[in-house]
Amino acid sequence: MIATGTSQAMTARDGRRWTLRPGRPTDGRGLAHLFAKVRAEGRWLITTPGAVSEPSEAFWISEMIRAGEHLVLVAEADGEAIGNVLVTIERGVATEHIGILSITIADGWRDVGIGSEMVAAAQRWAIERGLRKVSLGVFPDNERAMAVYAKRGFVREGLRRQQYRTAQGFRDEILMAWFPEEPEPGAPDR
């Protein structure tokens, strides 16, 4: 079982060591830099490169972590943030049972099991937090991300066509969700 409140030493599938730990307010800069690098790949994330300045995003992330309302987990290796999973709680009485998950692993650290571990940790937190639903959106060509979500028990909920205008043109978004109280095959141990 993966705890979400403490640091945990982890070993990637290729033998490299990394640490899974809660985000700290001082992670703002490191996480903003990670997001900027992954955005610059231009394929995976909704926000376009340069749409948010790194310093303002760093400030915003630090403030979010300080507020403590949402889940921010960091994957760290050699003192650098190499991954992040975020679960933000929806606002409003009608939707505060829902968390929105987003995840980013640095290029060079993908396909060695880190993303799957981080989604599992987010699911543990969602159960502890009493959420009824964890939702996410993913571009239809992001087969690796969808494979990870499906492996962790997320199911497809729908398709929003031409939902985002990106440098590659208009792109559809697949909606997926996981329901902690309705475990699917492959859902995490509890």
| Contact set with ligand COA (CB under 6 A) | 38, 44, 103-105, 110-116, 138, 142-145, 147-148, 151
CB of 53 to ligand COA, least distance (A): 20
Nearer to ligand COA, 70 or 144 (CB): 144
Nearer to ligand COA, 19 or 142 (CB): 142
Nearer to ligand COA, 37 or 190 (CB): 37
Q: Choose among 28, 118, 123: nearest CA to 66.
A: 28
Nearer to ligand COA, 25 or 90 (CB): 90
CB of 137 to ligand COA, least distance (A): 7
Other beta carbons within 10 angstroms of residue 55's beta carbon come to 11
Rounded to whole angstroms, the Cα distance separating 167 from 25 reads 32
Q: Which residue is nearest to ligand COA (CB)?
A: 115
Rounded to whole angstroms, the Cα distance separating 87 from 135 reads 9
CB of 157 to ligand COA, least distance (A): 14
- 11 and 17 in contact (C-beta within 8 Å)? yes
Q: Which residues contact 182 (CB under 8 A, 6 or more apart)?
A: none
CB of 49 to ligand COA, least distance (A): 13
Nearer to ligand COA, 20 or 138 (CB): 138
What is the DSSP annotation of 71-122?
EEEEEEETTEEEEEEEEEEPPSTTTTTEEEEEEEE-TTSTTSSHHHHHHHHH
CB of 52 to ligand COA, least distance (A): 16
